[in-house]
Chain A
Amino acid sequence: MIFNSFIFIFAFLPVTYIVFWGLRSAQSRYIWLTISGYVFYGYWDPRFCLLMAFSTIVSYTAGRMFLGEPSPAARKWILIVPVTIDLLLLGFFKYAGFAMRTTQELFDSIGLHTHLPVLDIVLPIGISFYTFHTISYIVDSYRGVITPTRKFFEFSSYVSLFSQLVAGPIVRFRQIEKDLDNVGQVNRKQWLLLGLSWFTWGLLEKVLLADSLAHYVDAGFTHPHDLTTLSAWLVMLGYTFQLYFDFCGYSDMAIGLGYLFGLRIPLNFNSPYRSLNPSDFWRRWHISLSSCLRDYLYISMGGNRGTTFGTYRNLFLTMLIGGLWHGANWTFVLWGAYHGVLLIAYRLFGEQWDRLPKAAAGTLTFVLVVLGWVLFRAPTISAASDIYASMFNFTPGIDIADATQLLCLVAIAGAWSVWGPNAQEAHANFKPSYGWSVAATAVFSACLTVMAGGRSSPFLYFQF
């Protein structure tokens, strides 16, 4: 079930909402949120629910053990064991096939003719996201940042919260703990309108912008090596904005859904294409992931507390692992490494960079980000090379169908992403009015119409 589907909008969401607010006690609401989360998740494949339930039980048990004030040595074990279990699960389902393929390629390249088994493991949707949720909970409990909850269903509703279950934002327990404790205590009507507005905003970004761009971008990527230079750049720009509005749209919908249930989910995108340097970009793009990588990886590796070289190494490794987190493919590793190098370069030449005029700094950052998206989009390194070749080996003309339409959409999406308001800015002083209800209804209806036309597609970040 995806947010931009009729079954979600007209069946799942109304039922979940009505029952949730019809229940009286916090405990029953936790249970209901847990059930709805599992129904939402099980809609893809009910088997995946077992995995999530296992991960939930392991993390909850670890949290309860921290409450027992164990010795420092025991605390370490309570940290290591469940985190290892979570990582092993993630590693098996997400990376085992990749590891086997890579090892086989390595053997082949050195002439070792060993045939390793081909692992065809189905990747449980959203495993990367809820694993992050459970690990962050255990680590924060270990660090004493949070007091682990004693209420099992409060924790299970946090892990299985359908709004952020399969594609984020990565919400840490501490960010939502207060709202969960006070579940059902908010001004329902006010939050309902705010939530609907956020949801509609996200739907607009996803359905009207991202999916419209996808129509042309997917066609362009069918044979990337055949593209002329201008076509390749146009398709890459299209993908740049498609990815942003797709994921940002999903996140904004998730935030809106959170409001419907009285839960404040943190912002995940803050107009990243306005960034003036690579470091600024990562403060604005997938904020929940970059802050998690910073807090749980970069700082755990020593952060910038050691030597200059150590800082650069930590930065590079963090981005490398962040890249790999996105998918079991060398293209993602390279993409992570590329951003690691950009961040190091900015640390080295930040003074000079910051002296650039704003427009130049913004353009330079944007172009570098677009070049990185080639690795992110390409299924293989060789395909990425083809795209780079098309972008930089000059061939005249434009050879994609409906280039004018794509150009128009890129211009609209580009202008919006840089100069237009993001969802947070648009809702900064939110006051429901007659005009607002008319506009929201029109946009919502327009989105449903496009969805009914069959041009809607799943979210790009589901694959991670």
Chain B
Amino acid sequence: MPPKPVLQRLVHVVVLLCVAVVAAEFTARLDDWWFHKIGFWSAPSYNDLFMTDASGQRRGKPEAHYQKWQMNSFGFRGPPIAEHPPKDVRRVMLLGASETFGLYESPQKEFAAQLAELTRSQNVEIVNAALPGITVGTLRQYWGQWAARFGADTVIIYPSVHLYVTCEDWPAEGAAPTTDAPEQHGFQIEDLRLFGRLKAVISQPDVVVAWRNGRKVEQATARHPASWVYTSPPTACIKRLHSDLLALIDDIRKSGANVIVCTQALRAARAPTPQDLRDLESFRVFSPRAPGPIIREFVSAADADILKLPAERNVRVVDVDAVLGGRRSSFEDLVHFNDRGSETVATLLRDSLVATTARAPAGTAVTQGSQP
């Protein structure tokens, strides 16, 4: 038996640890309830932000909240809107995946929110209609069944080009893995909000993440012959992306809206540095078939096709990759922006919106913009 004071101390420490955990959990719930209007007793998760409606269409869940994400009554991230834009207000809708929805930015710093702030005095209303993990092909369906009814004057498309790199493995038309959303695997421990917050603070070292991702890629490639792995960007997928994009543009145009398309920017430069290559290789966990450099080449090739859109469809293109590609300080991971990157994108889009209002001739419809 240890002497009594030691036992007492031990009990004291255990009690204090319990107090710390209870206080942390209570505070997390109170904080969520007070600032994010999340029920004190509920067990929210990221997946609660989305739903599948009666027609089978996946979309944002009306009035859903989770941590910093807050959906309005139509299930779009951002402030409340009316179904039809008020008179004299130009509604601009943003379509895209998690890069547009906003993952890592501080609250109100995703580029849709920053664009809304930049255009506040110009009677422009920004609607962030993005859905994490959505491909351009699925966006078409989403537009037709849901987003088109909101009377947008202009639609900005920020396509997640990189999702198409494995399009040859997609099981069905338009279906794509939701690779770029936060972990959505029924993470039970997050029922304790304390763990959710700890996760936000304690990040795994890059070395560990790279090692884990490397193992997953090894396991995935081991199931296939060596020829399964791409040695050059799959041109069929680039073509498929392009045709999906053209079809989406045509659909949107039918509603009378202007279309602006962005190229996708990556943290890795077009000529990747060794650090970029490590990033790309780590990201390969989402597309084991495409080695890191191939992902970059694929996005560059697809972006080059997007730059041809002004000639093909007379739409305005914002070359985000030309401005932000390779600028590491603007990204949180390979594809997702941080506050700074989003600020740059918002500024580029603002400039493009101004130019769209001015009805610039089609031949000059590629914007590279400048750093804000």
Give chain A's interface residues, CB within 8 Å of chain B.
6, 212, 215, 223, 405, 434, 437-438, 441-446, 448-455
Contact = CB atoms under 8 A, between A and B. Distances in A.
Given A438-B19, A446-B23, A452-B201, 12 more contacts: A212-B35, A438-B16, A441-B16, A444-B20, A445-B20, A445-B23, A445-B24, A445-B27, A450-B31, A451-B201, A453-B197, A455-B31
B201 A445 contact: no
A450 B25 CA distance: 10
A449 B34 contact: no
Contacts of A212: 34-35
Contacts of A446: 23-24, 26-27
A184 B307 CA distance: 68
Contacts of A454: 68, 106, 200
A75 to B, nearest CB: 52
B212 interface: no
A212 B198 CA distance: 20
B200 A442 contact: no
27 contacts: A6-B201, A212-B35, A215-B35, A223-B120, A434-B12, A437-B12, A437-B16, A441-B16, A441-B19, A442-B19, A442-B22, A442-B23, A443-B23, A444-B20, A445-B21, A445-B24, A445-B27, A446-B26, A446-B27, A449-B24, A449-B27, A449-B31, A450-B31, A451-B201, A452-B201, A453-B67, A455-B31
Nearest to A218: B108
Contact of A455 (B20, B22, B23, B35): B35
B20 A441 contact: yes
Contacts of B20: 441-442, 444-445
* Interface residue range, chain B: 20 to 34
A448 B27 CA distance: 10
Of A438, A444, A445, A446, most buried by chain B (CB within 10 Å of CB) is A445
B78 to A, nearest CB: 13
A451 B12 CA distance: 26
Nearest to A405: B34
Contacts of B23: 441-443, 445-446, 449
Nearest to A444: B20
B19 A450 contact: no
Contacts, number: 58
A452 B197 contact: yes
Contacts of A453: 28, 31, 67, 197, 200
A94 to B, nearest CB: 26
A438 B22 CA distance: 11
Contacts of B34: 212, 405
B311 interface: no
Contacts of B67: 453
B189 to A, nearest CB: 15
Interface string B16-52: 1001111110111001001100000000000000000
A452 B19 contact: no
Contacts of A438: 15-16, 19
B16 A449 contact: no
A434 to B, nearest CB: 7
B194 interface: yes
A399 to B, nearest CB: 14
Contacts of B120: 223
Contacts of A445: 19-21, 23-24, 27
Nearest to B107: A454
Contacts of B28: 449, 453
A6 B20 CA distance: 16
Contact of B200 (A434, A437, A443, A452): A452
A442 B24 CA distance: 8
Nearest to B37: A402
Contacts of B68: 454
Contacts of A215: 35
A417 B357 CA distance: 52
Interface string B118-146: 00100000000000000000000000000
B126 to A, nearest CB: 16
A376 to B, nearest CB: 24
A446 B15 CA distance: 16
A111 B106 CA distance: 45
A438 B11 CA distance: 12
A337 to B, nearest CB: 33
Contacts of B15: 438
Contacts of A6: 201
A449 B197 contact: yes
A180 B88 CA distance: 69
Interface in B168-208: 194, 197-198, 200-201
A443 B194 CA distance: 15
A215 to B, nearest CB: 6
Given A438-B16, A441-B20, A442-B20, A452 B35 contact: no
B280 to A, nearest CB: 28
B72 to A, nearest CB: 13
Tell me which of B22, B27, B31, B194 has the highest count of chain A C-beta atoms within 10 A of its own C-beta: B27
Nearest to A6: B201
B35 A449 contact: no
A146 to B, nearest CB: 43
Contacts of B26: 446
Interface in B93-113: 106
A236 B21 CA distance: 36
A444 B237 CA distance: 53
Contacts of A441: 16, 19-20, 23
A437 B120 CA distance: 50
B199 to A, nearest CB: 9
Contacts of A452: 197-198, 200-201
Contacts of A434: 12
A156 B15 CA distance: 42
Contacts of A444: 20
Contacts of B21: 445
Contacts of B22: 442
Interface in B57-81: 67-68
- The residue in A442, A444, A448, A449 that gathers the most chain B C-beta atoms within 10 A of its C-beta is A449
Nearest to A401: B79
B40 to A, nearest CB: 14
B30 to A, nearest CB: 9
A453 B21 CA distance: 15
A412 to B, nearest CB: 12
A434 B28 CA distance: 25
B105 to A, nearest CB: 11
A438 B35 CA distance: 26
B225 to A, nearest CB: 46
A452 B31 CA distance: 11
A452 B15 CA distance: 23
A270 B163 CA distance: 59
A434 B13 CA distance: 11
A97 B29 CA distance: 46
A444 B106 CA distance: 24
Nearest to A437: B16
Contacts of B24: 445-446, 448-449
A405 B35 CA distance: 9
A457 B66 CA distance: 21
Nearest to B198: A452
- The listed residue with most A CB atoms (<10 A of its CB), out of B20, B23, B28, B197, is B23
A442 B26 CA distance: 10
A451 B202 CA distance: 12
